[in-house]
Chains A and B, each alone.
Chain A
Amino acid sequence: MSQHRIPAWITVGVIPLANVAMAALAAALVFWYLNINPLEALQAMVYGAFGSSYGWGYTLYYMTSYIFTGLAVAVVFQAGMFNIGGEGQAYIGALGVGLVCLGLGGHVPLFVLLPISIIAAFVFGGLWALIPAWLQAKRGSHIVITTIMFNFIAASMMNYILINFLKPSGTMSVESAVFDPSSWIPKMHEALALIGISIDRSPLNLSMFWALFVAFAVWFFLWRTRWGYEVRAMGSNASGAQYGGISIPKTVIMIMIIGGGLAGFMALNVVQGEAHQIKLNLVNQMGFTGIAVALMGRNHPFGIVIASLLFGFLTQGGSELQFEYSVDARIVVVLQGLVILFSGALQNMMKHPIERLYLRLSSNRKKTSEELAAEA
């Protein structure tokens, strides 16, 4: 009966790689059109992203942000919903982190402040997702629409708060005061220097470890706890879940708070780890890129870590291209767009031929072994 005889290494390994390869081919055409040798461009990107500890630092810094925003989409997707509000949830999470650092920075040591700012990032991001969640659960307003709207509301609200409350008087730019240095999350190069390893300065900070831990925790939550069981049941068959005594409204609200909280964690990396102040537009589309990351990573935490690394590479390698060949900065967006196009919108283009090829090869192999058995 089973028609699903495709092994996992094909689904999660070969097919995504083939999709990325298609995207790379399409990108090569773009470079060719721009009169840039595609191979040299690739070389420049790889060197820019992985060629030095400086490049690595940036790539992993971006990866950290993408892990958080990617998980924010994926965990909600496991419940069968589409959280497009990562942008706003991360922004509001930054407000939480910023308030903790501004208020407590210099008064308490980092090991006391950090847990509080982690909680604040989660709570602020989560509460921002709670309103659309509540509207969906109790009033049936579609979460795609409401979370998009809440991105705009978050942006306007942060404008207002920054200008009226957080901007130190007498400054021109719309940003908060710089946090007390004691509240900063240590940079990777500083931490490694303590144990005698020297790497270049980069924005990469210790929140990367938190991102990796959170990815693991999300996997554990989804596949090892009964709450995760309920989330996955609802995501795959809502009426089945209801039959099983799972409350749909409660699960919607719980998973959206978690999703928003995960998006909020991005602020640990960007605000507490790097900028050290709340700036206008600090999320800078990373919330939206999280959607692509989740798509690419098949909504699985481990896939998201890998997809985040890829998008980190694209972001960092793409900005190197911009220096090297003085192409428009938006080349990064073009590259990301191609990856999304081929691994998201066109994912079945490669899937069916590869699966068919595999089935043909494997049935041939089986036949020959049967023939051998017959001969023997």
Chain B
Amino acid sequence: MTAQTQSAAEYALELRGIDKHFGAVHANKNIDLKVEKGTIHGIVGENGAGKSTLMSIIYGFYEADQGDIAIDGRVLKIKDSKTAIASGIGMVHQHFMLIQNFTALENVVLGAESGELIDESLDKARAELNRLSEEFGLSVPLDQPVEELSVGFQQRIEILKALYRGARILILDEPTGVLTPQETEHLFKVLDSLKAQGTTVILITHKLREILAATDNVSVMRRGEMVAHVKTAETNQEDLAELMVGRKVLLQVDKGDSAPGDVKLSVHNLSMTDSAGVKRLDNVSLNVRAGEIVGIAGVSGNGQSELLETLAGITPVDSGSIDLNGHTLDARHPMNPSQVRKAGIGHIPEDRHRMGLINTFSAYEAFVLGYHRNHEYNGALTMKQAAIIADCKEKMERWDVRPQDPYLKTANFSGGNQQKLVIAREIEQNPDVLLIGQPTRGVDIGAIESIHKRILEMRDAGKAILLVSVELDEIRSLSDRILVMFDGTIVGEVPADKADERTLGLMMANIVPDEIKALQAEEPA
């Protein structure tokens, strides 16, 4: 090993034998990691592989049971995040930790004030931030409340916060989940210029493509262990996926041609204003035919959730109308979610924790949510528990939900298995129309493969499928037609074969390229 001949100070961060238990769970097993100074180092792994635990140990949220952390060659005890910050570690969390009604400037200064009066701190920070913004291409409107800024800007503020505190090692946890492809590209440019100035960047993500695009070295975690350290230039997506999962994975699904039939779901001029008076859906129209998958792309928060929830009967319709498998749903003919289900619509919600499951329920109880009034599950007075459990067990087996224990609390299944529970529940009721939101959010790569296969099987069985996802790869590999949403409107439609990343990215920012305009002029919807 050449590492032994190098002086330790060439590593900005070095972990030796980090071990961490949570009760009976062994979250990190004897982890070694060396991050070279001035590089971008990627860490990949499935959910529950222990990435977040490891980062929390580095940032001082948890203390390791065993092992050493060395920063710039010096072994340090990082007891809390204060020590971590003082040692030059900065962290940008997946969920931003910003005070919404503070300005960018105030957020940056928060917790790093100097002097008695806030004005001095703000002035000092303003000068420093202007310098940092210029140097790294991180310009942000400093005096606007954070709540008025886009997610991309909010993320920049988080990065500035870390840099302002003197971070020389910057950890970013799933930073691209909320960004458009163009914003992601800009972020990577920022990371490159940080690297050029000598900052070390640790990038945690589950998107292999981004790892390949942005990093110098990659470390792969699986089940609490570090299974590989490789140079990015010497690896590819397939190899990384195999290292993460521990077996060969098909990243691209084989998709035959679609055979669209009758229109099963059509939306006419649908608009919706929320309780705060903000227009969430603006004159949305679309059709989904039997036997096709229509994908809805867009940065999260542009009306996709509202569209799905309106179609599912959860949010009432303000204006416009919906034809759901032959049933009319509009302001004068409202339908509640159980009526929508009875009309033959299945709904896999975007957020399984918020909607799809009841976390305190056993698997078999969560397995009938929405169908709990069905005859087969009910006697005159009681629910037929034995029948429900038997049914749940059978479907768990068919869908390979692990562990196959109908009594286990839903909260105790892994993300992928929870999602399989929800998908199995909705698909097994054999609906004609499927509304699918974020089917693989927080799901392991291995499970993604099987979920995608099932969705395509449903299409080939003649179901009409509306798919909402913020993962462009997912939209592109599953959809037959793609609609792009921006600010509650549908920007345009792209056939799957014309949907390259650049086109979709532009449309997600409300810019329709000329060739798509021409296409739409040809065949008016």
Contacts and interface: CB of A to CB of B under 8 A. Distances in A.
Interface of A: 1-5, 220, 224-226, 229-230, 232-233, 236-237, 239-245, 247, 359, 363
B488 to A, nearest CB: 21
Given A3-B25, A5-B24, A359-B24, A225 B361 contact: no
Contact of B361 (A1, A220, A233): A233
B95 interface: no
Contacts of A236: 358-361
B341 A233 contact: no
Given A229-B372, A233-B369, A243-B370, A359 B360 contact: no
Contacts of A220: 382
B354 A244 contact: no
Interface string B356-373: 111111000100011011
Contacts of B341: 245
B72 to A, nearest CB: 35
B133 interface: no
A237 B24 contact: no
Nearest to A1: B414
A367 to B, nearest CB: 12
Q: Which residue of B25, B341, B383 has the most chain A CB atoms within 10 A of its CB atom? A: B383
Interface string B112-131: 00000000000000000000
A239 B338 CA distance: 14
B361 A243 contact: no
B486 to A, nearest CB: 25
Given A224-B383, A225-B382, A363-B24, A245 B370 contact: yes
Nearest to B381: A225
A5 B365 CA distance: 20
B336 A247 contact: yes
* B: interface residue count bin: 35 or more
B382 A224 contact: yes
B349 interface: yes
A225 B388 CA distance: 13
B424 to A, nearest CB: 16
Nearest to A356: B23
Contacts of B412: 1-2, 4
Nearest to B414: A1
Contact of B23 (A3, A232, A242): A3
Contacts of B22: 3
Nearest to B339: A245
Nearest to B341: A245
A254 to B, nearest CB: 15
Contacts of A2: 24-25, 412
Nearest to A236: B360
Contacts of A242: 314, 337, 355
Interface string B18-34: 00001111000000000
A4 B409 contact: yes
A243 B381 contact: no
Contacts of B372: 226, 229-230, 244
Given A233-B361, A243-B355, A226 B373 contact: yes
B365 A229 contact: yes
A359 B383 contact: no
A30 to B, nearest CB: 37
Contact of B354 (A3, A232, A240, A359): A240
A240 B312 CA distance: 13
Contacts of B313: 245
Nearest to B412: A2
B62 to A, nearest CB: 14
Contacts of A359: 23-24
A243 B309 CA distance: 9
B48 interface: yes
A295 B328 CA distance: 47
A4 B383 CA distance: 27
A275 to B, nearest CB: 35
Nearest 6 CB-CB pairings of A with B: A245-B338, A245-B337, A244-B370, A244-B369, A243-B355, A236-B360
Contacts of B41: none
A187 B372 CA distance: 44
Q: Which residue of A226, A237, A240, A241 has the most chain B CB atoms within 10 A of its CB atom? A: A240
